[in-house]
A and B are shown apart, each in its own frame.
Chain A
């Protein structure tokens, strides 16, 4: 079972925290600890880390089952999965890749800022891949279509309630796809719609 999914950047700032089993400590303490373990490891290192140091941080039942940290780093982000021995380590490594590819499809060239401004959307995407600590779906097409389905339901319900709202429900390019607010922000600040 997957016990937690955590994403933090190279400075240790969390971008996504999801625990599937109750924890003993504050989330911050756990992130700090994992960050301290991972940030010192070189890029050629094993992607799996057994961490007895983490046992006391995670819930009481963790001393029953040895947990492993499976992580993978992409650009400025570390994707960290804490799993028990019922999961295949390489399988989890593949799953991280699926998660990243799913994010990439949803945000088109995903970057850290997408995770910041669309933290809710990131959770919705994760929810289509992992449910309750178990792998739900690994097929990118399926994940993508499920994400789109909920996104359009959300838009419809929002548009129905806010017929005058900008950028949704209406026609034109703004309503198509997932618009990042960053475009809106940077557009305002610099006049260039780049990310």
Chain B
């Protein structure tokens, strides 16, 4: 601390005393020379090193370049004294950057501080990594950082820093972090009681989830749950209220995180989220006198509107938001006008219909003349986004008018936008050309090369350009313009060769940039006018020897091109790509860009493709799963995932990344027995271990069912971050939804209940997988098959013998029959286990028809399967057990081929000798 270093205080006071900058520099140079000498002589103790490094730092903060003290900073880091260590770390974070060679020297000291059982040293080390960590540190330290994040003994302060540090390492070196594998463990921390920890972990999850949507999908429900608790239930520690708003930063982060996912299908989650958004919008109605309060409130509001737009642009929430926004753009507060325009642009970029926004068109145009340039910029962006076929002439006209008075800082972008809009919404060729010419004459130097090239490209490529206005070249505001006019008027008595001559004689007087444009025109002519190709090649040949290197290079390239005769490049716009430049790989991505809806949709498509390639690269670190794993992992494919791209590569990558997402189903004799029993009974235990018991009660009627899942905590500590999710193999066939958002904690020795709604839409064969995860010291995950099987949706029917046999005959043999013979066990008395057989058959919802089969040992049953999409399917059953052979024959006939095999399997399984029970 400066207090304890009088030399430093004196130095600071001296610099402050310097009247002019020259004197200040002199004083600093003197000090730096002195320090350099001291460092060179060596033999300094810790205190002296600390003092000199502090002086170097102060010099740095004044904006001077410093080149001493790095080595001393490295030494100070390993000092046993905190005061010296702290200055050392400060110097490292200020003076070094991720590619600094000195960093290699500090990795070991940092690791030592990370491993130490002293959280303030842990924090120093984490902070340093988070500021300067690069690839090398990521490789060396990522495990240590992760350990500090998940360790139950880590204090909140350490957890927060570890979360953000891990994020830094991920950004610098994504491959070193097994993001998918760590997903559930990291997401679980979002339930931490400390909102500071939640904020940091949410930031981390946000970055990881962008590249790994599916593995982190459970964060969606965590985020919604947390928002609900903050916004609706006001459940937070008072110190996290910022001017009475519960941690606005956390709310903003959560709302932003939700925008990275497609809207949830789960009705419970949707409803909760709707309630949250509605509350936020209602809260904004009450304005307070306190500026900080209003600020915080609006920070949340604007993000909430962003999310509402993302969820559904046609929802009533968005209509409410549009009204609010319209009020904002005429607010007295500049910040509010700015954000109002910005958010309207977001709406314009997403909405199906621009009507609601167009109502305020006049006001937006007026905002182009706001007194603040920041607001003017936003107005420009909004006009750009809200432009469509109907208003394009008005908007482009306004923008052209504005161009003449606009700030220089705005002009280049303005020109680009006008050019894009003109091209996109050109109603007639003539309007396009007129507008572009006006644009060029108004903007002069601000017309970038991209615009030039594009105009030439379009004009040359347009076939219907026989009669261009003759005044075109005289309209020409610039010299080059005339030449493009010639280009178009190719029929009017000017043969290509004559044009070339005219053009080329003028070119002698042109500047180099114009000449290069000319060359560009020529190369296009090579294709358009093959008859003058030899002359053109000749020109290129000559330009290959000019002095201007830029021209020379261009000529060489064109010469090569022309000699090879490649096809003319198709119409592709460099303008749009200039406006929407791509993002870095692991940066936070924008959730939308300026421009119409189509632009944003294109963007989503490329984004999806990109995220897939990212997935594949990270898969390299995951050990490849066996064939059976791959097969079983196909379950839950494209379940709320972003991967609607169904190219072969996307399939492959989803399959590969799947094993880490759906954890392996728990196996074991007991688990199988519990499951099997529940296939033919309505209640019972599904799973049990030393910590937890999971029980099921169920009811079914027709194609609808309701499942109550009871989670019992058997230990004397709460199970926190309790998360349940259900994956269905084929959501088209079976839907399962939670009735409401489940609680995140199960109190000690108590039970929590979750209700699931089930609907059978089509025939399905794979039971849904329920994944339970929770924190009990460590993080645990249990994946269980839910006893939701096809026969649950059968309703028994009573048939007389005649009816039965007639139907049996009509259905006929395979493929609408499934039959097999399987071994059975006898009771302890050596008899057939008729009770069990009866239990299984009626438990699987078949009626047992007593008078049909002449043999009393046999069972005959009938039932109707109910599905909501495929309708009803009749099923008939015959079971013929043989006591002496200890065998049984089962025959199932049904009008649907898909059903017979599955029903036979389900009934046979609990009856056969190798049954689990």
* Interface of A toward B, CB cutoff 8 Å: 1, 13-18, 20, 22, 26-28, 31, 41, 44-50, 52-53, 61, 63-65, 84-86, 88-91, 93-95, 97-98, 116-121, 123-124, 127, 131-132, 134-142, 146, 149-151, 153-158, 160-162, 165, 167-168, 178-181, 184-185
Contact = CB atoms under 8 A, between A and B. Distances in A.
B893 interface: no
A90 B299 contact: yes
B48 interface: no
Given A64-B581, A141-B239, A121 B2 contact: yes
Give the top 10 A-B pairs by smallest Cβ distance, nearest first: A132-B130, A86-B588, A90-B299, A28-B63, A157-B82, A46-B334, A157-B81, A46-B374, A154-B83, A153-B82
Interface string B193-227: 00110011001000000000000000000000000
Nearest to A32: B63
Given A22-B97, A97-B292, A165-B4, A156 B240 contact: no
Given A116-B12, A124-B90, 8 more contacts: A17-B60, A26-B63, A93-B335, A97-B295, A146-B123, A168-B3, A181-B3, A184-B3
Contacts of A157: 80-84
A154 B195 CA distance: 28
Contact of B409 (A15, A16, A52, A161): A52
B58 interface: yes
A49 B200 CA distance: 27
Nearest to B583: A64
B643 interface: no
Given A22-B98, A90-B298, A117-B9, A160 B81 contact: yes
A91 B299 contact: yes
B61 A134 contact: no
Contacts of A95: 249
A84 B50 CA distance: 35
Interface in B104-129: 120, 123, 126-127
Contacts of B164: 131-132, 134, 136
A90 B203 contact: no
A121 B58 CA distance: 12
Contacts of A41: 372
Contacts of B372: 41, 45-46
Contacts of A98: 242
Contacts of A63: 581
Interface residues of B, number: 84
Nearest to B5: A181
Contacts of B529: none
B87 A120 contact: yes
Contact of A142 (B4, B57, B84, B239): B239
15 contacts: A41-B372, A65-B587, A116-B16, A117-B2, A119-B57, A120-B1, A120-B57, A132-B164, A134-B164, A134-B167, A153-B120, A154-B83, A158-B4, A178-B1, A178-B3
Nearest to A183: B3
B377 interface: yes
Contacts of A153: 82, 120
A140 B240 CA distance: 8
A48 B587 contact: no
B131 A132 contact: yes
Contact of A149 (B3, B120, B160, B339): B120
A158 B84 CA distance: 8
Contact of B160 (A47, A97, A136, A150): A136
B62 interface: yes
Interface in B293-329: 295-296, 298-299, 302-303
Contacts of A22: 97-99
B583 to A, nearest CB: 6
Nearest to B81: A157
A94 B165 contact: no
Contacts of B625: none
Given A46-B335, A131-B131, A165-B4, A26 B65 contact: yes
B64 interface: yes
A1 B127 CA distance: 16
Given A14-B63, A48-B374, A64-B582, A91 B4 contact: no
Contacts of A161: 46-47, 81, 83
B58 A119 contact: yes
Contacts of B374: 45-46, 48-50
B593 to A, nearest CB: 10
Given A20-B131, A132-B130, A88 B302 contact: yes
Contacts of A93: 295, 299, 335
Contacts of B256: 86, 88
Contacts of A27: 60, 63
Nearest to B85: A157
